[in-house]
Amino acid sequence: EESEVMENKGVKEKTMEDGVAAMAACYAGFDPAAYLQYNYTAPRADFTRRDSIVPWKLGCLHRAFTEGDISGGLLVDVGSGPTLYQVLSGCEIFERLVLTDFLEVNRRELKRWLQDQGKSSLDWTPYLQHVCKLEGRGALAWSEKASRLRAVVSDVLPIDVHRPQPLAPGALPSPGADCLVSCFCLESVSPDLDAFTRALGHIGGLLRPKGHLILIGALGESFYQGGPGVQIPVVPLDEAQVCSSLKQNGFTLMRLEVYVLPDDMRVGVDDVSGIFFVKARKE
Ligand code: SAM
């Protein structure tokens, strides 16, 4: 009987491995410039509208990092992709910031901006300006924020959230990061809810005890376009599943906010119905 149980466990693990390998194959076609165009230009990034997706996300991040409870030396962003919006508030309060992604094309995109080589696929200026405005800073402060970001990012590292140790050994100091940010990563790289929950546990291992987790992600999404003709499957999540995965991995939920997509934000590049924002603390 025991061997049957072991065998079942083996089958389950094999299926999970196959699912993870299939996800990695989907990402072979990921196109950073197209992804930025789909998700990080108007209407999804319309800074004149408070109900546009990007201003909503930037508002949540601004609030999370100015409530006064998050501090420390090291912030790690998990699955950065080709984007920088998610660290524009956090970069002001951490001395060191580590960006990470699974794909070399995304790490290269980030490094191009960080090294100021002037060939970024997206102009981040309106993002920098918007966050400076949230911070109550003047019209010229955005270039100071750009310099600050370039100064605090120490590394852009490869990561795989499906490994128990997602980063290379020794990549982080021993107690772990003081804070983690991760946006639209876990649900869009996991074949199912079990894999999502397991991956959340893996990244939790990068965080020191009592450290904070800022998790943003898609609700009710089954696919997104990673480039022209590249459909990437996503685990459709609801709020209860997000809360349960956090609990199972020893996180205490501090805040959960939900954004429902207005009809004109449903532009055909995915079937997302909403977005969750979570602030949690590792026990
Ligand atoms: N964080 C960005 C954002 O907010 O737009 C990008 C999110 S994008 C939907 C998902 C990201 O997960 C991609 O950049 C992809 O390269 C990365 N990824 C794919 N497989 C991964 C894995 N096994 N571990 C970590 N990240 C992975």
Q: C-alpha angle 78/96/143, rounded to 5°? A: 95
Closest CA to 210 of 269, 153, 283, 144: 283
Least confident interval from 2-16, 124-138, 257-271: 2-16
Give the model's confidence band at 11: pLDDT under 50 very low, under 70 low, under 90 confident, else very high. Answer: confident
Per this entry, what is the length of the chain?
A: 283
The pLDDT value recorded for residue 9 is 75
Closest CA to 194 of 20, 5, 2, 3: 20
Residue nearest atom 27 in ligand 1 by C-alpha distance = 102
Amino acid identity at 19: G
Higher per-residue pLDDT: 11 or 6? 11
Q: Which residues line ligand 1 at a C-beta cut-off of 6 Å? A: 27, 30, 79-81, 83, 86, 101-103, 106, 159-162, 183-185, 188-189
* Cα 185 to middle of ligand 1, angstroms: 5
CA distance 161 to 32: 19
Give the model's confidence band at 52: pLDDT under 50 very low, under 70 low, under 90 confident, else very high. Answer: very high
DSSP state of 263: G
Tokens 């370039």 correspond to what residue?
A: 150
Is the pLDDT confidence value at 1 over 70? no
Pairing of strands 230-233, 223-227: antiparallel
Token digits of residue 251: 């996180």
Three-class SS of residue 254? strand
Pocket test for ligand 1, best of 189, 198, 200, 276 (most atoms within 8 A of CB): 189
Counting from 1 in the atom list of ligand 1, the atom nearest the Cα of 39 is: 5
**185-226 pLDDT, tens digit each:** 999 999 999 999 999 999 999 999 999 999 999 999 999 999
Is the pLDDT confidence value at 229 over 90? yes
Is the pLDDT confidence value at 235 over 90? yes
Token digits of residue 135: 């911070």
Amino acid identity at 156: V
Counting from 1 in the atom list of ligand 1, the atom nearest the Cα of 81 is: 14
Three-class SS of residue 261? coil
**107-124 pLDDT, tens digit each:** 999 999 999 876 899 999
Q: Where are the domains of the chain?
A: 2-282
Plot region of 173 (φ>0 → left; ψ -120 to 50 → alpha; else → beta) = beta
The pLDDT value recorded for residue 251 is 98
Residue 277 β-bridge partners: 216, 257
Query: Topology of 2-282 in CATH?
Result: Rossmann fold (3.40.50)
Is the pLDDT confidence value at 10 over 90? no
